Amino acid sequence: MEKEKKAYTDLDVWKEARVFANEVYNATKLFPKEEMFGLISQMRRCAVSIASNIAEGCGRNHSKDSIQFFFVSRGSLYELETQIYIPSDQNYINETLGKALLSKVEITRKLLSGFIKYYQNLAK
C-alpha cells in the first residue's frame, strides 16, 4: 500500500513559516506609517511568500516542480532577512526584536533546507 502524503498544513516547515509571517506582521506594526507602502508592504509580502510557496510546491504533481517553489520560498526568506536589517538600521525596531526575527530566519532556513533536500532525494 502506498504511503499517504502528509498535508502541507501538518509540515513543521510550513507551520514555522506561518508563525514567522505573523511575527513579521506584528513587528511591522511598530514602523512609521510612512513605510506602509514601502518596507512594511515589502516585508509582509516576503513573509507571506515563504509559507505560500511551500504550500504551492506541495500541491504540484512532480518533485522537480515542487522543488522549484521551495527554492522561491528560500529566496523570499533571504530577501526578508536583508529587509530585517534595514528597519534595525533605521531604529524602527530595537536590537532585541531584530535578533529575535533573525533567529526565526535561521530556524526557518534550516527547516526549509532540510525539506528541499528531502524532495531532491525523491526526485532522484
Encode pLDDT of 34-56 as tens digits: 999 999 999 999 999 999 999 99
Record the cell numbers describing residue 54, joined without a space. 511551500
Record the cell numbers describing residue 78, joined without a space. 533571504
Q: Give the integer Cα–Cα distance in Å for 79 and 58.
A: 22
Determine contact, residues 57/49, Cβ cutoff 8 Å: no
How would residue 2 be classed by pLDDT, with cut points 50, 70 and 90? Answer: very low
pTM confidence score: 0.91
Residue 3 CA: distances (Å) to CA of 6, 27, 58, 122: 9, 40, 15, 13
How would residue 124 be classed by pLDDT, with cut points 50, 70 and 90? Answer: confident
